[in-house]
Amino acid sequence: MTPNMESATHRGRAATPPESGLMGVAHAPTSKPIRVVVVDDHEAVRTGLERVFERSPGFDSVSALADDRDLFALLQREPVDVVVLDYDLERTDGLSLCLRIKQRRKPPAVVIYSGYAAPALVLAATVAQADAVVHKADPVDVLLGALRRLTDGDRLLASPAPDLLEAAAARLDAADVPVMALLLHGIRTPDIAQTLALEEREAAHRARRIVGVLQAGRPRRRQLNSA
């Protein structure tokens, strides 16, 4: 294990079991409304979450979008605390979209909301700089609790297990391993470029490539439908 990779494994509190992707520290709810945007291409999920946020004290549903087409314009004009983002979007890759969101200055928190929240996906989501992974089968209170804790400053994703990091590094080009380590620390690609003496476009390309490699083989709805 390289020094950079090793340091990336020691940055969190004790975690709940890896299937959840959430660290287990309770926190008092925030006092101001949590402004949430949902991005999910299932209309039933969007409608259901909008109703949940409308009926839950302390939440404000800003918008529910089917894809990314209007997302960045919305983030530009509206204050948003959290984006609840489907992993398996029809039009785009959810983790790559997460990485794009997190490259903004003062980005919102991003929760990957997925039916495939296994440890390997949690690792890929962590590299994509997601703030939490919540399984769609979990009770809605789990999602609401995660949103409250994120906006109160809690860190919810556990540090990836060393064996997962080792396996991930083995799948990457050697030159991409330091990029992955910096992504795991939440470093934005412009700063990664400066740290590693890369062009900013090259750093962004490598970050996208790493996320793509790490989620390769994860189940996707289009794959399941065509099987």
Q: Which whole number is the average pLDDT over 92-116?
A: 92
Domains in the chain and their CATH numbers?
Answer: 16-151 (3.40.50.2300), 162-226 (1.10.10)
Cα 13 from Cα 10, distance rounded (Å) = 9
Cα 202 from Cα 4, distance rounded (Å) = 20
DSSP helix/strand/coil, 28: coil
| 128 Cβ contact partners less than 8 Å away, ≥ 6 residues apart | 95, 96, 98, 99, 102, 183, 211
120 vs 226 pLDDT, higher one: 120
Query: How confident is the model at residue 42, as a pLDDT?
Result: 93
Query: How confident is the model at residue 226, as a pLDDT?
Result: 35
Share of the chain above pLDDT 90, in %: 67
Quickly state the pLDDT bin for 158 (edges 50, 70, 90): confident
Q: Which whole number is the average pLDDT over 162-187?
A: 94
Query: How confident is the model at residue 159, as a pLDDT?
Result: 85
194 vs 160 pLDDT, higher one: 194
Quickly state the pLDDT bin for 24 (edges 50, 70, 90): very low
Q: Where are the alpha helices (DSSP H) in 56-139?
A: 71-77, 94-102, 119-127
Of 85-94, 199-208, 211-220, the range with the lowest mean pLDDT is 211-220
Quickly state the pLDDT bin for 22 (edges 50, 70, 90): low
Query: How confident is the model at residue 105, as a pLDDT?
Result: 85
When the pLDDT of each residue in the chain is averaged and rounded to a whole number, the result is 84
Query: How confident is the model at residue 90, as a pLDDT?
Result: 83
Q: Would you say residue 1 has pLDDT above 70? A: no
CA torsion sign for 156, 54, 99, 119 is: positive
Long-range (24+ apart) CB contacts under 8 A made by 134-139 are 134/20, 134/21, 134/22, 135/19, 135/20, 136/45, 138/20
First to last CA, the chain: 37
Q: Which whole number is the average pLDDT over 172-198?
A: 95
DSSP-derived pairing of the beta strands 59-65 and 82-86? unpaired
**Do 41 and 89 form a contact (C-beta atoms < 8 A)?**
yes
Quickly state the pLDDT bin for 218 (edges 50, 70, 90): low
Q: Please list the residues that pair with 114 across neighbouring strands.
A: 135
Cα 29 from Cα 68, distance rounded (Å) = 29
What pLDDT, in 10s, does the model give residues 41-80?
999 999 999 999 999 999 999 999 999 999 999 999 999 9
